[in-house]
């Protein structure tokens, strides 16, 4: 259990769901983990759950000031980054006729701007040969009703990986996109306005997945660990789907 022994990993959006599950995996495999989240109380609880000396840094990836503070702390306490998991993101449903400027700005600020500047500001700390993981979405390739703004923001993530693996080629830094399918996380269940609507939503999604169920955060975290580790040393610029086959049919 030492696939990330002595590595330094930074995970954004790590206070719950896939980010938290990945922090647990990385730490159990020997990594020193820095975790971010917007809500201090949830972040503190997540850091305690991860253990292994994990460090929490409260902040919003859409804020460049918060990102600067994050990487100042990483530089001070660790001096480098071996694995960067730019995982923070979010979205909400809005049919075309209901999309507002605020909705677009909020979604793109976190998913696109936040991811871009997370990676850019980490560059001075990333070691040559580091692994950068971006969180994508099945909706970027297959689409979803009333989810076009989120889907477009995640299509941008796919484009980032294709381009950044070229930008960072001289440093042998790998950039890959981890694509979760429907995963049982607080974020997914929070999309529904009521418990009854949530059950219907989950049932509808499960019907579209060949495996017939939602994924668990730990299953996606296992895929993140693969991308973080030397086991994926020749995987670059790619999408790794952990979606139960949903986007493959």
Distance, CA of 26 to CA of 8 (rounded, Å) = 9
245 located within any domain: no
Looking at residues 227-245, what average pLDDT do you find? Answer: 97
247 located within any domain: no
* Beta-sheet strands, E only, within the chain: 8-11, 32-37, 55-58, 81-86, 126-135, 174-180, 239-242
1 located within any domain: no
Quick one: pLDDT band at residue 151, thresholds 50, 70, 90?
Answer: very high
pLDDT at 1 (0 to 100): 73
86 located within any domain: yes
Q: Is the pLDDT assigned to residue 187 strictly greater than 80?
A: no
CATH code of residue 167? 3.40.50.720
pLDDT at 170 (0 to 100): 98
* 207: phi then psi, degrees, rounded to nearest 5: -65, -20
pLDDT tens, residue by residue, 37-63: 999 999 999 999 999 999 999 999 999
pTM of the model as a whole: 0.94
Identify the active-site residue in 71, 85, 147, 150: 150
pLDDT tens, residue by residue, 200-220: 878 888 888 999 999 999 999
What's the structural domain count of the chain?
1
Q: Is the pLDDT assigned to residue 191 strictly greater than 70?
A: no
Task: Write out the residue range of the structural domain in which residue 213 sits.
Answer: 6-240
pLDDT at 171 (0 to 100): 98
248 located within any domain: no
Annotation marks residue 150 as catalytic: yes
> Do 14 and 20 touch, CB atoms closer than 8 A?
yes
pLDDT at 21 (0 to 100): 97
Other CB atoms within a 10 A radius of the CB of residue 88 amount to 24
246 located within any domain: no
């Amino acid at each position: 259990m030492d696939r990330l022994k002595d590595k330094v990993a930074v995970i954004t959006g790590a206070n719950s769901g896939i980010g938290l599950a990945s922090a647990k995996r990385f730490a159990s495999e020997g990594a020193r983990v820095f975790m971010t989240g917007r809500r201090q109380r949830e972040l503190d609880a997540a850091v305690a759950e991860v253990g292994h000396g994990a460090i929490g840094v409260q902040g919003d990836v859409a804020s460049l000031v918060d990102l600067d503070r994050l990487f100042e702390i990483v530089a001070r306490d660790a001096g480098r980054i071996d694995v960067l998991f730019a995982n923070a993101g979010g979205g909400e449903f809005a049919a075309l006729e209901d999309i507002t400027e605020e909705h677009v700005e909020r979604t793109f600020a976190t998913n696109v701007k936040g991811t871009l500047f997370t990676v850019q500001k980490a560059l001075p700390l990333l070691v040559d040969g580091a692994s950068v993981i971006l969180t994508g979405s099945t909706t970027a390739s297959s689409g979803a009703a009333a989810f076009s703004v989120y889907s477009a923001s995640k299509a941008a993530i796919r484009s980032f990986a294709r381009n950044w693996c070229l930008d960072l080629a001289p440093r042998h830094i790998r950039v890959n996109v981890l694509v979760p399918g429907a995963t049982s996380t607080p974020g997914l269940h929070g999309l529904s306005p009521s418990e009854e609507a949530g059950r219907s939503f989950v049932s509808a999604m499960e019907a579209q997945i060949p495996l017939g169920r939602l994924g668990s955060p730990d299953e996606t975290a296992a895929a993140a660990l693969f991308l973080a580790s030397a086991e994926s040393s020749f995987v670059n610029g790619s999408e790794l789907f952990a979606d139960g086959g949903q986007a493959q049919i």
